Amino acid sequence: MSAHDLGADQNGSKGRAISHISTQLVALPLEEPIKHPFMGARTQKATLIVQVHTADGAVGFGYASIESVRLVRAVQGIITELEPALKGQDATRRNFLFERMWNMTVDLLHDGATNLALSAIDIALWDLAGKLAGMPLWRLLGGYRDEVPAYASWALWRHHDSARLEIDAAKIVEQGYKGMKLRMGSRPYAEDMARARLVRETVGPDINIMVDALWSMTAIEAVKIARGLGELGYTWLEEPVREGDFAGLAKVRAEQALPIAAGERISRLAQIETLVPSIDHAILDVAHLGGITPWLKAANAIEGHNLPLSAHSHAHVHMHLLAAVRCGAWIEFMPWLDAIFVDPPTPKNGMLKLGEKPGLGLELNHAAIERYTVK
């Protein structure tokens, strides 16, 4: 018997056996384009809705979401390829199923579309686990807290002028948020710092302001920006240097001018130990890591180093994960997927309250899904 088949249950537990996996591709339009320095104008969230069905009729929900319909179709193709190997298996055996999916996709490498596909299925399996247990996922995973702080991350873009920054920052505070994110890094230092100063003056000293530099700086440039932001009382500087440049990240952190946050592009557990010495605050993405199963292992490693852990995007999944672990910190909130849910969780006074509905607690809005389906 090979390692691939070790522990396999060919028939599964009859009622819990996976009968099939369904997918549906939707394109959700953004309210206005987001201008990216090298990806052009983002106008939509192409989202693949993934549902794992069991023989007894239970259904778990997961998804994969990026900007391009064509790229999401690549994720859909991987899931279609994985489905035959998962059918008939016990849906509650998540570790075994994850290992089976991992082994089957080794030739694709475990980054990008592969991890998005694994994640969509794995999230659905965990949603299903909560439903079978009759418990919300945050309780099933440990239930450390029943609410998590959320910061507004759908505004304050690099292409917005100063007047727009001032208006949007004030609106976010009026909505009750205690934190917000400002993107920086595409302008000269003096101009970027003027914008940072404007936002701070607009919201006052008690609001957390996170800066995301989107991998746009050298270590020297990032040190200079960190010092300036530190003087303004900013919360962290996120992803300041080129992705994968852990040495550069460590140089910026060594200055201790401002907490350095990074990690959203980590796609393998082995990378966590390289990341940790370079940061003050970890930011992980459940989709980039390949699902909740590896995310939990990564969170344990982060907690072992006594670092705070925040989330990149995917608020309606990450809220359960960060609520479950001691080191959980901030949720990055964007309402871009709300249209596909009935009464989705929404921050109130800057906090996302965890509910008692089983699993992820999300109900799909089938009328909206049909309206936005890519034919």
Under DSSP, is residue 116 helix (H, G, I), strand (E, B) or coil? helix
pLDDT at 38: 65
pTM summary value: 0.95
Residues forming CATH 3.30.390.10 domain(s) in the chain: 14-133
Is 84 a residue whose pLDDT tops 60? yes
Calpha distance 36→15 (Å, rounded): 47
Mean pLDDT score, 56-82: 96
Question: Which of 31-40, 54-63, 323-332 has the lowest average pLDDT?
Answer: 31-40
pLDDT at 188: 95
247 CB-near residues (< 8 Å, 6+ apart): 278
DSSP-derived secondary structure for 291-338:
SHHHHHHHHHHHHHTT--EEE-S-HHHHHHHHHHSTTB--EEE--TTG
Looking at CATH, the fold of the domain delimited by 14-133 is given as: Enolase-like; domain 1 (3.30.390)
The class level of CATH for 138-366 reads: alpha beta
Instruction: Provide, for the chain, the percentages of residues in helix, strand and coil under a 3-state DSSP scheme, each rounded to the nearest 5.
Output: 40, 25, 35
Q: What is the pLDDT of residues 205-230, one digit of tens each?
A: 999 999 999 999 999 999 999 999 99
Residues forming CATH 3.20.20.120 domain(s) in the chain: 138-366
When pLDDT is cut at 50, 70 and 90, the band that residue 265 belongs to is very high
> Residue 182 is inside which H or E element, if any?
strand 179-183
